[in-house]
């Protein structure tokens, strides 16, 4: 290829890649597969490799191209990044508004969620990202430009912008789901986990190696134009410009006419905070008029034209009463803190995770300590630290057990692992968790099979491994205390239905160490049946992109065990589907986006999602104007109202059933 042709092709590839990046990371609306996207990126990388003089700083290939640095340089902000004054109730918000009304006849606001993340300022010259700086002390911060470039929702080049010099402010954050996956991966690698999403964000964005930052699930919402060579009259107008040129802005941001409407919206945000996939700890009210903002100015610490409304506390202090040991499906012993019950964010918390025994030592936690407990959305409450100033002399260190608390087997601690494990495969606790995992919603989705029922099945010697579930008769279920004819039949029906779950769900449900939902998906793309997987060579497994050597080793080890092979044979014997479905060429829902709100009577959420995905559709967790269908069941949430406001297609359960049939 000559250079002239390379220039034309590079320009086209960059344009296409930036477009698809925007669709995926900003609009949450991908229109090509990950494989197709990677193909475009690799083609661009190859051409740039052949013509290195054509590489530019805004090329998509440069997002993780920088080498590790020794330290962060300190940079002065163009305008100070001030903190916000806080309010904690409606009266304080009204007082703030009344002070403004002494200066202005009326005040309208823009209200936005207060993201629990790390603030940053991004500078663009002629549309190109030239610098990114942390908030720091408000006057100066650390230059994190290389790390910011790894965040896919940060545009390297702005689209159709007529502003030559622009500074914007944003909040870098990590989603709850991303945080959970990150900690899970760190645990599997025996590396220290993060305490919360903010801690994980701060620890990630300050990595000296951009390649590590690129591996972390960071995101950003840009919320303000802090400097521009273009006159902008309102904050609402600024947000429209930001979105238009390619920034990710928060879709929940709302313009309101007065303080009462602002208060109502703050209350709405607080109600839905647990439903969001990112943490918010309050709302921010900003005067919409830029002219009024300038008139009010700032104190040395806070702008006078904006204020933060803080939601109910998500942290509290309480007493650590004792530490119990939980034994998981892989035999891992996990310490669980038993607390003096305390209200956090409107929920009573009496238990918290301690992750592992090293965590207890690292945080210097003793039984009887007063501890700081944090609850964050659907993340399990955890102990952040011990309040050592309140420690009593008789508080005791926790002794790591030498025997499994359930079956009394000597525990093992493999040298390269943090975890301490019970090696007894017949340990009742291990069996309970294995069955629970196999029956879980993301695996075989066996309804009505909870912990209490599994415990009774084990106590009554009805099950000794996973496959025994499928050999249970109605009389066996009726022999369990609490079951009647109808409830027993419901469980039998649910077990029978689970036989037809997808191949990837079966792989995940088997509970192979290090094989999560994502790994199961990768495996199911490479093998069409369980027999193929059983006969797979470990070296072939290692060649599968995205699987990893450790996971490949665990898969090979699992299927080299006669006990596990017998389990598979028994599952096949009872009719559990162990092959992939034939690919359906006709995909009536191809690229269609579905959102569910409320519960359906005829299908579980998992079943209905599987049906849609099998027909080419996509399941989204939040509503946007590009959503094709909103399926409404019993007790719908706030998504229904948003769908109505956007004029989206809304289907009740009966209409949904007609659609999928």
As annotated, the active-site residues are 114
CA distance 146 to 151: 10
The CB-based long-range contact list for 526-531 (8 Å cut-off, 24+ gap) reads 528/503, 528/579, 528/580, 529/503, 529/578, 529/579, 529/580, 530/503, 530/506, 530/568, 530/572, 530/578, 530/579, 531/578
The CB-based long-range contact list for 494-500 (8 Å cut-off, 24+ gap) reads 494/446, 494/447, 494/448, 494/449, 495/446, 495/449, 495/469, 495/470, 498/439, 498/444, 498/445, 498/446, 498/576, 499/470, 499/574, 499/575, 499/576, 499/577, 500/577
What residue has token string 């009966």?
Answer: 654
Whether the Cβ atoms of residue 327 and residue 429 lie closer than 8 Å to each other = yes
CA distance 263 to 274: 19
Crossing angle of helices 197-205 and 176-188, in 10° steps, is 70
Whether the Cβ atoms of residue 382 and residue 412 lie closer than 8 Å to each other = no
The CB density around residue 322, as the number of other CB atoms within 10 Å, is 12
The SS3 call for residue 579 is: strand
CA distance 460 to 480: 8
The CB density around residue 523, as the number of other CB atoms within 10 Å, is 24
Whether the Cβ atoms of residue 356 and residue 383 lie closer than 8 Å to each other = no
In Å, the largest CA–CA distance within the chain is 81
C-alpha angle with apex 124: 114 to 217, nearest 5 degrees? 50
**Conformation bin of residue 179: beta by default, left when phi > 0, alpha when psi is -120 to 50:** alpha
Whether the Cβ atoms of residue 312 and residue 376 lie closer than 8 Å to each other = no
What residue has token string 């096949």?
Answer: 572
The CB-based long-range contact list for 301-305 (8 Å cut-off, 24+ gap) reads 301/82, 301/83, 301/85, 302/82, 302/83, 302/84, 302/85, 303/82, 303/84
* Order of all β-strands in the sheet with 218-228: 128-134, 118-125, 165-174, 218-228
Structure-block tokens of residue 166: 């622009």
Name, in order, each residue with C-beta under 8 angstroms of 116's C-beta and a sequence gap of 6 or more.
173, 197, 198, 278, 279, 280, 281
């Amino acid at each position: 290829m000559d250079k002239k042709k390379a220039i034309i092709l590079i320009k086209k590839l960059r344009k296409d890649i930036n477009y698809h990046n925007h669709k995926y990371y900003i609009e949450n609306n991908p229109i090509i597969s990950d494989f197709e996207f990677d193909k475009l990126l690799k083609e661009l990388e190859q051409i740039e490799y052949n013509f290195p003089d054509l590489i530019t700083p805004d090329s998509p290939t440069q997002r993780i191209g920088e080498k590790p640095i020794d330290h962060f340089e300190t940079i002065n902000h163009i305008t100070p990044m001030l903190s916000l004054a806080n309010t904690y109730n409606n009266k304080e918000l009204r007082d703030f508004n009344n002070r403004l009304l002494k200066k202005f006849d009326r005040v309208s606001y823009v209200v936005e969620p207060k993201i629990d993340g790390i603030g940053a300022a991004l500078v663009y010259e002629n549309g190109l990202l030239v610098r990114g700086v942390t908030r720091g002390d408000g006057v100066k911060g650390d230059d994190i430009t290389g790390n910011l470039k790894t965040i896919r929702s940060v545009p390297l080049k702005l689209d159709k912008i007529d502003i030559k010099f622009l500074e914007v402010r944003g909040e870098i954050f990590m989603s709850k789901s991303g945080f959970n996956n990150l900690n899970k991966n760190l645990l599997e690698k025996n590396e220290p986990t993060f305490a919360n999403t903010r801690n994980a964000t701060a620890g990630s964005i300050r990595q000296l190696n951009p390649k590590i930052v690129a591996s972390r699930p960071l995101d950003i919402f840009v919320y303000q134009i802090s400097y521009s060579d273009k006159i902008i009259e309102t904050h609402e107008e600024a947000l429209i410009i930001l979105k238009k040129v390619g920034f990710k802005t928060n879709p929940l941001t709302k313009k309101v006419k007065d303080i009462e409407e602002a208060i109502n919206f703050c209350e709405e945000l607080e109600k839905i905070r647990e439903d969001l996939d990112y943490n918010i700890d309050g709302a921010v009210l900003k005067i919409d008029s830029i002219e009024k903002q300038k008139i009010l100015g700032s104190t040395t610490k806070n702008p006078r034209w904006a204020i933060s409304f803080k939601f109910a506390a998500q942290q509290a202090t309480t007493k650590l009463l004792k530490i119990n040991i939980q034994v998981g499906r892989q035999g891992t012993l996990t310490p669980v803190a038993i607390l003096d019950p305390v209200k956090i964010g409107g929920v009573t918390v009496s238990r918290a995770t301690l992750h592992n025994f090293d965590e207890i030592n690292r945080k210097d936690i003793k039984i009887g300590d007063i501890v700081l407990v944090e609850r964050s959305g659907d993340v399990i409450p955890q102990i952040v630290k011990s309040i050592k100033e309140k420690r009593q002399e008789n508080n005791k260190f926790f002794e790591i057990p030498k025997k499994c608390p359930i079956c009394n087997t000597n525990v093992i601690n493999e040298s390269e692992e943090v975890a301490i494990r019970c090696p007894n495969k017949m340990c009742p606790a291990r069996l309970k968790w294995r069955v629970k995992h196999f029956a879980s919603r993301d695996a075989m989705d066996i309804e009505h099979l909870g912990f209490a029922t599994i415990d009774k099945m084990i106590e009554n010697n009805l099950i000794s491994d996973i496959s025994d579930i499928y050999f249970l008769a109605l009389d066996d279920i009726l022999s369990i205390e609490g079951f009647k004819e109808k409830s027993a039949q419901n469980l039998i029906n649910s077990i029978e239905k689970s036989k037809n779950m997808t191949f990837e769900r079966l792989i995940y449900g088997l509970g192979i160490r290090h094989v999560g939902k994502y790994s199961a998906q990768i495996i199911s793309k490479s093998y069409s049946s369980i027999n193929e997987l059983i006969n797979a060579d470990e070296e072939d497994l290692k060649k599968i992109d995205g699987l990893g050597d450790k996971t490949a080793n665990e898969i090979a080890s699992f299927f080299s065990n006669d006990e596990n092979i017998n389990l598979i044979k028994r599952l096949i014997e009872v009719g559990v589907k162990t092959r992939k479905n034939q690919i359906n060429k006709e995909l009536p829902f191809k690229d269609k986006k579905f959102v569910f709100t409320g519960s359906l009577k005829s299908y579980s959420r998992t079943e209905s999602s599987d049906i849609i995905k099998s027909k080419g559709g996509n399941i989204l967790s939040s509503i946007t104007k590009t959503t094709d269908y909103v399926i409404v069941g019993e007790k719908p949430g706030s998504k229904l109202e948003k769908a109505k406001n956007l004029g989206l297609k809304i289907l009740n359960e009966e209409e949904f059933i007609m659609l999928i049939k």
